[in-house]
Structure 1
Amino acid sequence: MNIYTLLSDLLKLEKAFAVFGVIAFSQVLIIESRYVASEGVGGGIGGGYSPLYPLIVLIQYGVIATSLLLMALRPKSVFRALWRDPFIWALAFTAIISFAWSDFPSLSMKRGISTLQTAMFGLYLASRYSLKEQLQIVAWGMGIISVFTVLFTGAFPGSGIEQGVHAGAWRGPLVHKNLLARLMAMGTIPTLLVALDAPPKHRRTLWLVFGVTIGLAFLTTSKTGLLIALALVALTPLFKALRWSDGIMIPFLILIVFVTTSGVTWLVENWEGFLFGLGKEPTLSGRTYLWEASIEKIRQRPWLGYGYQAFWQVSGGAEYVWTAVRYQPAHSHNGFINLTLDLGLLGSFFFAMSLVTIYIRGVSWLRVTQSSAALWPLLYASFLILYNQTESTIIEHNNLFWLLHVAVTLSIGYVRRLTPQEKAEREYWEQYKQQISQPAIPGGNAPTGEGA
């Protein structure tokens, strides 16, 4: 075994670790649907608790620990990625120190620290892999998750398909159909972008995986999940058009897609309330009552909120909201409201600035590279904006969406056009990385220094 074979094997092993990390934080390995009954069905196998949960949490901590070890071997690249977006770290540290004003200080501190730990895997991805490589890793992870979901549901239809309130809807190994819909809506982005740039011999397989993610989003019967998945597909050529258009037409079309998707999302989630409102009632039913009650509580503690993940606890601030809406939701069904309840306007400001940073740098990045991977930051930020209008997917501990947000944010810095010499050097090292990642040829050599 020569040095190039060894390097190739190590690189493949490390990339397999990264793919496994994506799967571990997706929550599918907990197989919660096997042990928790569907909504509206009493009881449930195993008393409503997955015995795999402690094991998966231990695996997640193992992934984080391994990430820290690998980052210690590459301190320069880690520090470069670390400082690309101070707002993301300000948001994470606000979650930790919120114990100081939280109604449940030990809970806020524990989950805040866990949130920072989860961000470490995102930092590892950003410091170790290019956007193109990250996209391939996430696409591989989503492909495995999608196939696993199909196989699991086929093997255990009583668990993988909802009973009760949402009878017939797929939830796969997750506890609720909306969680699977959210995962598949996000999964359409990396599988689509990787398929667009794939070599012909792999293209058919990748398009098939993309089709499976769309199909699973449809089978969840979540109109919001399917709508947002299709909206992200529609945004892909519009964002790509920003490369050759400096006018206002393309941004205007993008804005139309955002507004239309937002309006239709709100409508499908509040359809009964909308029809009820046409009868001249003073207010709509559905989530609007929940949002109004939540905003009323925000007014009482607007700047710092109630502490990270402290509001929706029993005997917490949510008691007022539960009384107003006459049921007990676990969150406000709006990520922006939920974040403000947890961390106040300060936390919301940090998150908003992080999104603005992604869009500004993302457009610049898009215009200096022709790879479809350059679309990933803009599309992921769009996913967060669209989905958080009816669900909460911003900052969560042990959560795939939070770590991907960290990875995307820290992967793009300020962009300038490369000089011819810098471009030649980058092409040389890309060629070198590709060669050592291929099976070694006896007597083969590293790339020559020509053009470096």
Structure 2
Amino acid sequence: MKLKDLLLLIQKLEPWLAGLFFAYFLGIALPPQAVSIANLISYPILAFLILVSGCWKKILFAMTRDIPLLLLHVMALVSVFWSMAPEVTGDETKAFIRAGVFGVYIAVRFGLGGEMRLLAKVLGIAAVLSLIAGVAFPTYGIQTDGEFIGAWKGIFGFKNLFAAQMTSAILLLTLLGLQRSRWRWLIWSVCAIAVALLLLSRGRTALAALLITMYLFPLYSILKQDYRLRVASTAIVLAVSLGVALSIFLNLQFIVVDVLGKNLEFNGRLPIWNMVLEKGLEHFWLGHGYSGFWTSGAAYPILTQTWAVNSFRAGVRFNAHNGFLELFLQLGIVGLTLYLISLCTLFFRAFYLLLRLKTVELFWVFQSLILAACINSADSFSVASAGGEWSIFVSFAIAIALQYRRLKIDDRLGSPSSDFDQNAALSPNPYPQRS
């Protein structure tokens, strides 16, 4: 085989390999032996993808576009020196760095448009396979033990993760279904499957987060309107939003208890959050080390005096069920501050670019950030994790930072066609030819 043919083959395989990476990182349930093999080969495969794509220099440059995010990864790596469980920290920081590097690779290689299409395919296939798993292999696709017997988990590890992924799928497929005429019937069919699976998962937190995010859809139409009409529409939306917020506040007990099926302690989360906060304050500045709390003796009181004892007895690692508290536990106020700076910067840049360019990719980023923030108020698998959710966040941060920088440069140069160029740059050819 000639070198040119080999490079062409690799180029065609690249999106498939990236899709498999995403599928694995998003939490698909695999046998322990398969997980060990996948972990072992994932590092050389990622290195191979970066090298054959010829974009390693761009990746190194892109890593410096969000300094707080870069420092957060460095801090996790060096936290082995003060970790309560240094062996675990040393092992799991490798996976955390891998997830971050993969996110940078996705941002540089695919862009927001390419990532949007890639994730739509991955999550769409996951939804279809989850439906098949629940119908044909119920012992695999439906929870058979614990408090939530009968709740669907599809091809994922547990029901809350499954619900979160189906929520992301619904959001993404809805945006694509509204924008595209080609394959629209297929997109809406898979979206309907994802909605049904979300309901079957009994993931009420994810469902509430989806409804909140869907409420933002009129914002995209408002942004495309004439200035005066936009101001009037925004005023109406704000007035309605304040009314909805007031209604929620006045009926909080009914919504939490009767609609979401939780008690006012959020199914026992509130006592755990209080205990977690107390433990976090003991190591206020730097935390207990990355993944160093729940695997150490410091977690014993929480694991034995709350409903976390069920996970403890089953040998399953517990978590704070709040992404922000979990990060505070691991890397202290310094790590949490670095993350919040990166998150707020990303929100500002994404909204600024959305006002300027009004592209569906930017609106997807904006909605996804709000969705993740809502879900992270009750779960911990997205903030500074070693999974696909973290790769997505990093890819957003880097892609938006690069685009924001490019737009500012064009503004300084006075480029008359900058808006058109930005739209093109946000949705590059996902498999560009190498020079």
Please report the TM-score for the alignment, with normalisation by the length of structure 1: 0.79
Tell me which of 200, 207, 219 is aligned to 2:200. 219
C-alpha displacement at 1:114, in angstroms? 2.0
Percentage identity across aligned positions? 24
Tell me which of 331, 335, 355 is aligned to 2:343. 355
- Please say if 1:173 is aligned against 2:155: yes
C-alpha displacement at 1:123, in angstroms? 0.7
C-alpha displacement at 1:261, in angstroms? 8.4
- Please say if 1:183 is aligned against 2:172: no
Q: Deviations over 1:286-326 (max 9, x none)?
A: 211111111111222111111111111152x2112234426
Counterpart for residue 314 of structure 2: none
C-alpha displacement at 1:340, in angstroms? 0.3
Structure 1 CA distance for aligned equivalents of residues 270 and 207 of structure 2: 22
- Please say if 1:412 is aligned against 2:404: no
Counterpart for residue 267 of structure 1: 256
Name the aligned partner's letter for residue 46 of structure 2. I
Counterpart for residue 320 of structure 1: 301
Name the aligned partner's letter for residue 30 of structure 2. I
C-alpha displacement at 1:70, in angstroms? 3.7
Q: How does 1:236-385 map to 2 (within 5 A)?
A: 236-239=217-220, 241-242=222-223, 244=225, 245=230, 249=235, 267=256, 273-274=263-264, 286-315=268-297, 317-325=298-306, 327-328=308-309, 330-385=318-373
Structure 2 CA distance for aligned equivalents of residues 423 and 285 of structure 1: 48
Number of aligned positions between the proteins:
408
Name the aligned partner's letter for residue 66 of structure 1. F
Name the aligned partner's letter for residue 208 of structure 1. S
Name the aligned partner's letter for residue 325 of structure 2. I
Name the aligned partner's letter for residue 20 of structure 2. F
Name the aligned partner's letter for residue 362 of structure 1. A
Distance 1:259 1:140, change over 3 A: farther
Structure 1 CA distance for aligned equivalents of residues 336 and 246 of structure 2: 21
Q: Deviations over 1:117-138 (max 9, x none)?
A: 2211111111112211110111
Name the aligned partner's letter for residue 287 of structure 1. R
In structure 1, list runs of 5 or more residues that go unmatched. 33-49, 275-282, 438-452
Question: Residue 412 of structure 1 aligns to a residue in which SS?
Answer: helix
Counterpart for residue 31 of structure 1: 30
C-alpha displacement at 1:90, in angstroms? 1.4
Distance 1:410 1:427, change over 3 A: closer
C-alpha displacement at 1:341, in angstroms? 0.6
Conserved 8 A contact 1:142-1:191 = no
Please report the TM-score for the alignment, with normalisation by the length of structure 2: 0.82
Structure 1 CA distance for aligned equivalents of residues 149 and 427 of structure 2: 52
- Please say if 1:389 is aligned against 2:371: no
C-alpha displacement at 1:327, in angstroms? 3.9
Conserved 8 A contact 1:184-1:216 = yes
Name the aligned partner's letter for residue 267 of structure 1. V
Structure 1 CA distance for aligned equivalents of residues 22 and 392 of structure 2: 9
- Please say if 1:77 is aligned against 2:58: yes
Q: How does 1:119-158 map to 2 (within 5 A)?
A: 119-158=100-139
Structure 1 CA distance for aligned equivalents of residues 366 and 199 of structure 2: 24
Structure 2 CA distance for aligned equivalents of residues 203 and 397 of structure 1: 34
Q: Which has the higher helix share?
A: 2
Structure 2 CA distance for aligned equivalents of residues 19 and 233 of structure 1: 26
Structure 2 CA distance for aligned equivalents of residues 393 and 431 of structure 1: 28
Tell me which of 178, 185, 196 is aligned to 2:178. 196
CA RMSD of aligned residues (A): 3.6
C-alpha displacement at 1:347, in angstroms? 0.9
Structure with higher RCO (Cα < 8 A, 6+ apart):
2
Structure 1 CA distance for aligned equivalents of residues 276 and 261 of structure 2: 21
Distance 1:284 1:201, change over 3 A: closer
Question: Residue 339 of structure 1 aligns to a residue in which SS?
Answer: helix
Name the aligned partner's letter for residue 53 of structure 1. V
Deviating more after overlay: 10-19 vs 329-338: 10-19
Structure 2 CA distance for aligned equivalents of residues 162 and 432 of structure 1: 41
Structure 2 CA distance for aligned equivalents of residues 434 and 117 of structure 1: 21
Q: Deviations over 1:171-204 (max 9, x none)?
A: 1122321121122122223222222222x23111
Conserved 8 A contact 2:357-2:422 = no
Structure 2 CA distance for aligned equivalents of residues 212 and 76 of structure 1: 41
C-alpha displacement at 1:6, in angstroms? 9.6
Name the aligned partner's letter for residue 416 of structure 2. P
Structure 2 CA distance for aligned equivalents of residues 312 and 435 of structure 1: 41
C-alpha displacement at 1:352, in angstroms? 0.8
Distance 1:431 1:174, change over 3 A: closer
Name the aligned partner's letter for residue 17 of structure 1. L
Deviating more after overlay: 400-409 vs 211-220: 211-220
Counterpart for residue 42 of structure 1: none
In structure 2, list runs of 5 or more residues that go unmatched. 312-317
Question: Residue 183 of structure 2 aligns to a residue in which SS?
Answer: helix
